[in-house]
Chains A and B, each alone.
Chain A
């Protein structure tokens, strides 16, 4: 590659990979780890939940399989429907991970769509930024809300491509473009990617990264799909850097007309 890309920087740390994966819906921690390795991702998001009191101590722990020394752990607030619950979850995560400040904020509004509740999201973002967290925030693809979240001090804004777990792809590329045009922080598409071409489209639009869970975890072969996603994200990034040809309504011959002998 003749062009050298700048790495993705999040909260002062640089990442060669622009893919972030999840840890939900896998058959086992081992399958999750194999997918993580195949994806090339350097960051993985995890949920924070109650310990089952009946759990045996020899039962493996996610953080023992996926090491925080090797990967950046991104605790998320999945399942929170209020700003207060999300802030509380982030504080627990920070304690769990020894003062780690990076979090993925999501405050949901409705169980059927899992759409973000943007008013609660804005309130939680303000509290978390004031509390010293580095906030990567899941939000709708509304350009004005994305800008507000950036102004609050979120270190990355993560608009959905389509509802969480839907696999419907980038439903509104024009909104993502508007968000990108106004942004000075990394924009990462979070949610909606179903197949590698969706991830490529997000990257071709100029997104700084893609976060996905179900598209890999629910593939028939998650490890192979993780590898496909790695290539898709890299491909879309390179295409964006290369700059695509303009769209034209009519044909444009690729072979010269001069020198024809017929």
Chain B
């Protein structure tokens, strides 16, 4: 299925949870926050939340800024 992640379209194999996606992207251990279709996906829900074809996902982190 196709997902939009940080503006890029990627293909993943269904079924795919948020945790699966983060592992696929090599981000499972990083300190990130995730939004699915503009709703915050709490970290505690990453293992059970199934992503669906066409979902729009944002993954953010903290960077330098003033």
Residues of A near any B CB (own CB < 8 A): 22-26, 29, 32, 45-51, 53, 55-57, 61-64, 73, 75-76, 78, 88, 91-93, 95-98, 164-165, 212-214, 217
Contacts and interface: CB of A to CB of B under 8 A. Distances in A.
B65 A76 contact: yes
Given A51-B27, A53-B6, A57-B30, A96 B66 contact: no
A97 B6 CA distance: 20
Contact of B66 (A45, A48, A50): A45
Contact of A51 (B30, B38, B66): B30
Interface string B4-28: 0111101000000000000001110
Given A51-B6, A95-B40, A95-B42, A26 B64 contact: yes
A40 B66 CA distance: 17
Given A23-B63, A165-B66, 15 more contacts: A24-B64, A25-B64, A46-B64, A48-B62, A50-B58, A50-B60, A62-B62, A62-B64, A63-B31, A92-B33, A93-B62, A95-B34, A96-B60, A164-B66, A217-B66
Interface of B: 5-8, 10, 25-27, 29-35, 38, 40, 42-43, 58-66
Nearest to A214: B66
A96 B40 CA distance: 10
Leading 6 A-B pairs by shortest Cβ distance: A47-B65, A213-B66, A22-B66, A96-B33, A23-B64, A95-B33
Contacts of A22: 64-66
10 contacts: A23-B66, A48-B61, A49-B60, A51-B6, A57-B29, A63-B61, A73-B62, A91-B40, A96-B32, A165-B66
A61 B61 contact: yes
A53 B25 contact: yes
A56 to B, nearest CB: 7
A57 B6 CA distance: 17
A96 B65 contact: no
Nearest to B43: A95
Contacts of A75: 62
A155 B64 CA distance: 24
A51 B64 contact: no
A48 B65 CA distance: 8
Contacts of B5: 53
B66 A24 contact: yes
A142 B43 CA distance: 40
